Amino acid sequence: MSASEDMSVAIVGMACRLPGAPDPSSFWRNLTAKACSIRHFSVDEMLAAGVPDTLARHPDYVPAHGFLEGFDQFDAPYFGIGLREAELMDPQHRLLLECAGEALQDAGLEHPERRRDQRVGVFAGVTISTYFANNVLPRKDLRSLFGDQQLMLACDKDFAALRVAHAFDLRGPAIAVQAACASSLVAVSVAMRSLLSGECDIALAGGASVRSPQAAGYLYTEGGTGSRDGMCRAFDAAATGSVAGSGAGIIVLKRTTDALADRSSIRAIVRGAAVANDGANKPNFVIPTVAGQVQAMRDAMDFAQVRPNQVTVLEAHGTGTLVGDPIEIAAFAAAYPKEDAAAPAFLGSVKPNIGHLDAAAGLAGLIRVVLSLRHRQVPPVYGFQTPNAHCRFGATRFVVPTVLQPLDGDDRPLFGAVNSIGMGGVNAHVILESPPRLTPRRPQATRRVYVLPVSAKTRESATNYLSRLRSVLPELTSMSDVEFTLQRGRSPLKYRAAAIGRSAEELSASLERAKPIESDGEPGNVILVFPGQGEVTFKNLADLAADVPSVSAEIGEILTAASDYFGQDLRWMAGRDEPASPSGDLHRQIAAFTGPLALARALARSGLKPDFTAGYSMGEIAAACTSGLMDLEGAMLLLKARSEAFRDSPVGTMSAAASEAERLLTGSVWPAIRQGDGRTVYGGTPEAMRDFERRLDANDIAHVPLGVPLAFHTPLMEEAAVRIEMAIASKLRLSTPTTPFISAFNSVTENGRDPSRPAYWAQQVRLTLHFDRLLGAIVAERPCQVIDLGPQQRVAPAVARLLGRMPDVTPRLPGDWSMQFMNHLTQAWRCGASIDWPSAGEDDRIVSLPAYAFDHRRHWMELRPEAKGKQNMTPSKADASVTGGMSTHITIYSDRVEIRTGAAIDQGAPNGGVATEPQPAPQAQRAPLAESVADTSEPSGRQLAPVGIDVTIASIAANYLGIATLKPEDNLVDLGANSLMMTQMIAQVRNQLDVQIALADVFLEPTIANIARLARGGDGGRFSIDLDLVRSELENIERLTPEEVQSALRDAENER
């Protein structure tokens, strides 16, 4: 480790949302293609956005902005934020939240386990909230409803970094960094020092700037900072100023030593950073100085221990202003002087491509340099043609590239620098180094199986991510790295899918087939079924040991114990050359026992522990070991006793045929295994079986010989059973199982059927195996997953047929035992199990993969018509008021309350707009009373008529949450009501209903039903009316004559 590594930090993840570029990859493509993402708007676009007509048509108005696509979009449920709160929230806060999530994913740190016991800091700055000023503040109704504090939390600069820390449970410092246009680069400097001081272990640094309205420009003023024609021409003779833009960016930082140790993917190394101020030695407050910038540049180089002539990529603030550019170039020339041996330094600025992003500008420039160092290329500066004569480039070593320039140096480290200037005197400078060379990988001995787990909070997001991942898979060189990143770096969420395969091609095909399923957090009952002896070969075992390291370790442990017990080296079964003459049945039994047991152990180590175990014939021995009924030494004793007993058993054969063949049995042929699928395995003496098979042929009954030398589970094994019992009776130690063991024999009323007694394990070889009953017992446990541990997957199809569904039973992959093992884990994970994926190789690294596919919806508080200038405009749906004086249509169903008001967000609308339910037209004549009871029935459930208290509470909740449909049992906090909002909500309930409700009682159960109960004094819950009964009574009233009505009223008065 070098001294520079000890005092540097590594960029291990980054994310951005920039004009024309939703991520760093697309940003790089735009830069290299000389794309400009500054948009020029039409008058109609600006009028629709709220620009006053007189301003939009002013001759000096420049209709240009670095337009950010999706500026009004947000995935509020992903962050547990309510729809109304999301609508109030400054889009800068929203962008930071999503960029932070994407950056953590890019760093492989989204999974909480990757951040365990590490302090993660957040350092971020945002621009003044024009959304608050233009969209929220004019809404007096909102200020009345939510109060200034709630609006401040939603929009103020101070809370942006704190929101990120809260959303991702980050426990380090969370600090708002405000340094004007230099905010995000200053945040990098502050984060670096926090890391090196030990204040935090991981740091997020960045910034955001989003202007409202987006489709708007600025009034050009001669000598001002704004460009005359809406183009930013940094360093060019035709430059007249800058153009604003909107965007955000965040990087994730670690100490370089930590990043190298935990196999992070290092994008670049921050070798040094410094911040200085101009002070008062300048003409006025806003003009930058050469001296202040040079101080920051030299301090950063001193920190980095880098010489000026080593830096070959320079990212300038580069605003294209008449004063700013020449001053900055003079500062660069002083700090990075031209020397005889110095290589040219390429000078650039990102602002001509995307505009000036204010608080996020420095981070955008830093990402540009990081990408240049990573690709070892420098993109051209958009629009640069003729050098600004005042910049005096001839006296410097700086070159402004007009085409994509390769960087020399082969594999030698490259250095770059980023400069950022904050109006008022802030100067920030950062020195970057290209990422370190990766050590060569050791070649893989086998084509291992890869599992790519994908999850999201919604089905739509999961489906979209599957498509994203598949689209980039051909560009990725290491499937092992992709697997490591998805398994170790991403959080397991509700909707899950996965791809499984041995190559990029197989994984791509698997991704195309994959369908997300909803997991419930727990996989349900998991049953392991162990195969019989005839299903496992020595090759199966050797392949399994070679392909899956975690299983190989278990195989080695079991075979070592077997070698010690039997006094012979049996480890050849795990891959060493097979001996010339393996000792027959004993070795086959050991192989058949070892493989499935090793799989079960490896599954348990990965977190997939069974709720039940069962076995097919000899498979019961491994099942008993897994359940805790038998230990490994006892299993070896039993295998030895079986092998010795079988040696002297009479020869027999077995054949599988339809169960109807039982009517043809004669002599020494018996049913051995009742399969349960209309088939039975028969066994007997060779002569009797040949005769039986001839009768089968004569009756056109198909049969399949099994090719075994003994007739297991028939009376021919009686002597073997006796010998086994004699060998194990006093030696086999059996215990109470810790996991229930399902037997194929203990449901029959014969002696020796208790698996906790040695006699069971002797008689097991002789008695008829009732696999049909075993399957019935398995199905009775209502399993979520039945795992067939045999390489040929003979049990799974039978279970699937009985269950009547295949999704809960692992798909058949006959013969590929390694693939099956990974598939078992994958299926359990999809069902909701928490899986500790088998340890990856030592060379596996976190790599950059597509970011989470957020399920975006529009959240935007539209400008009021009066705030949109003098043009006459029809209010949009979202302009509807949320005040209490509105008309409201409310229906209370048996399972929810549905409220339609101008404040209720119509969740069915694609843009998240507001729905107002029209009032019914007046009727020409009075309808019968029974018909006037609104029929709001749904397919199921009885209706509840609207009741005053419930209606009032539901209406108040709907206003605050912006949700059209509420169920009485819905948890309002889960729907996005924070503690402050709940306080305001309950205060309004108290005022409108004139009741006393303790807030602490509400938080115990924050539902409409509970609040209504508390409002009634807690006297028995919500009042409801059966509308069917109401209609019936009203129909009776309709039939009464006026005299009968008067009589009924007198009777009621007397009773009262």
853 three-class SS = coil
Q: Which of 181, 232, 625, 784 is catalytic?
A: 181
Would you say residue 686 has pLDDT above 60?
yes
Whole-model pTM: value is 0.82
In this structure, the answer to whether residues 827 and 922 fall within a common structural domain is no
Q: How many CB atoms lie within 10 A of CB 628?
A: 15
**Which residues partner with 405 through β-bridges?**
378
Alpha carbon distance 88, 76 (integer Å): 12
Is residue 161 assigned to a domain?
yes
In this structure, the answer to whether residues 54 and 196 fall within a common structural domain is yes
392 three-class SS = coil
- pLDDT digit string (tens) for 967-991? 888 899 888 888 888 888 888 898 8
Is residue 243 assigned to a domain?
yes
Nearest to 166 by CA among 127, 210, 204: 204
Is the distance from CB of 956 to CB of 992 less than 8 angstroms? yes
In this structure, the answer to whether residues 827 and 963 fall within a common structural domain is no
pLDDT band at 3, cuts 50/70/90? very low
Between 806 and 459, name the one with better pLDDT: 459
Tell me phi and psi for residue 418, to 5 degrees. -125, 130
Q: Which of 36, 65, 93, 356 is catalytic?
A: 356
Q: Tell me the average pLDDT of the chain.
A: 85
pLDDT mean over 606-626: 93
Tell me phi and psi for residue 151, to 5 degrees. -70, -35
Alpha carbon distance 877, 413 (integer Å): 57
Is residue 257 assigned to a domain?
yes
H helices present in 71-122, as ranges: 83-88, 91-106
- pLDDT digit string (tens) for 747-762? 433 344 689 999 999 9
Is residue 887 assigned to a domain?
yes
Nearest to 218 by CA among 19, 90, 350, 46: 46
**Among 433, 453, 481, where does a domain finish?**
433
Is residue 794 assigned to a domain?
yes
Which residues, 6+ apart, have CB-to-CB distance to 19 below 8 Å?
A: 37, 38, 39, 66, 67, 68, 69, 245, 246, 247, 353, 354, 355
Phi-psi region of 918 (alpha: psi -120 to 50; beta: other; left: phi over 0): beta
Is the distance from CB of 776 to CB of 753 less than 8 angstroms? no
Residue 578: the pLDDT is: 58
pLDDT mean over 593-597: 95
Token match 């920039």: residue? 18
In this structure, the answer to whether residues 227 and 156 fall within a common structural domain is yes
Nearest to 845 by CA among 585, 482, 433, 581: 482
Residue 173 belongs to domain with CATH number? 3.40.47.10
Is the distance from CB of 581 to CB of 587 less than 8 angstroms? no
pLDDT band at 105, cuts 50/70/90? very high
Would you say residue 514 has pLDDT above 70?
yes
pLDDT band at 887, cuts 50/70/90? very low
In this structure, the answer to whether residues 270 and 376 fall within a common structural domain is yes
Is the distance from CB of 99 to CB of 250 less than 8 angstroms? yes
Token match 């010690």: residue? 564
Is the distance from CB of 600 to CB of 612 less than 8 angstroms? no
β-strand pairing of 202-209 with 120-126: parallel
In this structure, the answer to whether residues 886 and 749 fall within a common structural domain is no
Q: State yes or no: is 317 an active-site residue.
A: yes
Is residue 857 assigned to a domain?
no
Phi-psi region of 628 (alpha: psi -120 to 50; beta: other; left: phi over 0): left
Token match 């990859």: residue? 25
Residue 664: the pLDDT is: 93
Residue 947: the pLDDT is: 52
Which residues, 6+ apart, have CB-to-CB distance to 397 below 8 Å?
A: 336, 337, 338, 339, 342, 343, 344, 345
Residue 422, Cα to own-chain centre: how many angstroms? 37
Please state, for a pLDDT cut of 70, what percent of the chain lies above it: 83
**Among 376, 399, 433, where does a domain finish?**
433
Residue 680, Cα to own-chain centre: how many angstroms? 48
Which tokens is 116 given?
């365990």
Phi-psi region of 978 (alpha: psi -120 to 50; beta: other; left: phi over 0): beta
pLDDT band at 347, cuts 50/70/90? very high
Which residues, 6+ apart, have CB-to-CB distance to 560 below 8 Å?
A: 571
Residue 1021: the pLDDT is: 38
Segment (H or E) for 983: helix 979-993
Which tokens is 640 given?
């030895």
Residue 894: the pLDDT is: 43
- pLDDT digit string (tens) for 810-869? 455 666 888 889 999 998 899 888 899 986 666 788 999 999 999 999 999 886 555 454
pLDDT band at 192, cuts 50/70/90? very high
Q: State yes or no: is 770 an active-site residue.
A: no
Domain that holds residue 766: 526-634+731-831
Segment (H or E) for 829: helix 817-831
Helices (H) and strands (E) in the chain, counts: 35, 34
Alpha carbon distance 430, 366 (integer Å): 8
Q: State yes or no: is 93 an active-site residue.
A: no
Most confident of 362-371, 554-563, 781-790, 906-915: 362-371
In this structure, the answer to whether residues 307 and 385 fall within a common structural domain is yes
Alpha carbon distance 156, 154 (integer Å): 6
- pLDDT digit string (tens) for 83-104? 889 999 999 999 999 999 999 9
Query: Roughly what angle, to the nearest 10 degrees, separates helices 817-831 and 538-547?
Result: 60
Which tokens is 559 given?
């075979």
In this structure, the answer to whether residues 825 and 902 fall within a common structural domain is no
Which tokens is 777 given?
């017992």
Is residue 695 assigned to a domain?
no
* CA distances in angstroms from 743 to 619, 627, 642, 774, 788, listed in the order given: 11, 12, 19, 7, 16
Task: Report DSSP letters for 408-476, one per residue.
Answer: P-TTS--EEEEEEEETTTEEEEEEEEPPPPPPPPPPPSS---EEEEEEESSHHHHHHHHHHHHHHGGG-
Would you say residue 926 has pLDDT above 80?
no
37 three-class SS = coil
The lowest-confidence range among 284-288, 299-303, 432-436, 595-599 is 284-288
Which tokens is 476 given?
């990725």
Alpha carbon distance 423, 181 (integer Å): 7
Would you say residue 485 has pLDDT above 90?
yes
Of the CA atoms within 13 Å of residue 918, those in its CB half-sphere come to 3
Q: Which of 65, 317, 587, 770 is catalytic?
A: 317
Nearest to 903 by CA among 977, 958, 973: 958
Is the distance from CB of 275 to CB of 384 less than 8 angstroms? no
Task: Report DSSP letters for 729-744, one per residue.
Answer: TTT--B---SS-EE-S
In this structure, the answer to whether residues 821 and 894 fall within a common structural domain is no
pLDDT mean over 669-695: 92
- Rg of the chain over CA atoms, in angstroms? 37
In this structure, the answer to whether residues 955 and 890 fall within a common structural domain is yes
Nearest to 724 by CA among 654, 637, 631, 632: 637
Q: How many CB atoms lie within 10 A of CB 258?
A: 16
Is the distance from CB of 108 to CB of 834 less than 8 angstroms? no
- pLDDT digit string (tens) for 259-311? 999 889 999 999 999 999 999 988 889 889 999 999 999 999 999 999 999 99
Would you say residue 366 has pLDDT above 80?
yes
Residue 915: the pLDDT is: 31
pLDDT mean over 637-655: 93
Nearest to 270 by CA among 294, 239, 304: 304
In this structure, the answer to whether residues 273 and 420 fall within a common structural domain is yes
Is residue 477 assigned to a domain?
no
β-strand pairing of 377-378 with 405-406: antiparallel
Q: How many CB atoms lie within 10 A of CB 644?
A: 15
Residue 901: the pLDDT is: 42
Residue 810 belongs to domain with CATH number? 3.40.366.10
Residue 881: the pLDDT is: 27
**Among 374, 406, 433, where does a domain finish?**
433
Which tokens is 404 given?
């994509």
Of the CA atoms within 13 Å of residue 587, those in its CB half-sphere come to 18
H helices present in 606-675, as ranges: 619-627, 632-647
Domain count, the chain: 3
In this structure, the answer to whether residues 144 and 240 fall within a common structural domain is yes
Question: Length of the chain, please?
Answer: 1056
Residue 981 belongs to domain with CATH number? 1.10.1200.10
Segment (H or E) for 649: none
Which tokens is 301 given?
């180089």
